[in-house]
Amino acid sequence: MPAAQRPQPRVIVFSTPTCSFCNQAKRYFRERGIKFKDVDVSRDRAAARDMVRRSGQQGVPVIDIGGRIVVGFDRPKINQLLGIR
């Protein structure tokens, strides 16, 4: 099936408002029309614990793409998991 017809996996960005890499990742998704849920871990302690449980990381961004974890704004890995070039 061509990539354009495949449903987009669910994307969650665990971030903080002051994190420049988080903002770069969110801008990258917006520019490419990728829908994502932004979770501000500086305001939501339960989400912060969930992020650490999923990734083993305290730092942001942590990006969950269809259940696969990307730590940091790792563009090649993000593209690979989303099937974009």
Residues 19-73: tens digit of each pLDDT: 999 999 999 999 999 999 999 999 999 999 999 999 999 999 999 999 999 999 9
Neighbour count for residue 67 (Cβ, 10 Å): 10
Identify whether 27 is part of a domain. Answer: yes
Identify whether 15 is part of a domain. Answer: yes
Q: What is the CATH number of the domain that holds 12?
A: 3.40.30.10
Identify whether 10 is part of a domain. Answer: yes
Identify whether 45 is part of a domain. Answer: yes
Identify whether 1 is part of a domain. Answer: no
User: What confidence score (pLDDT) does residue 7 get?
Assistant: 82
Q: Could you give the count of Cα atoms lying within 13 Å of 3 in the half-sphere of its Cβ?
A: 8
User: What confidence score (pLDDT) does residue 85 get?
Assistant: 81
Q: Which domain holds residue 12?
A: 6-82
User: What confidence score (pLDDT) does residue 5 get?
Assistant: 61
Q: What are phi and psi of 73, to 5 degrees?
A: -90, 80
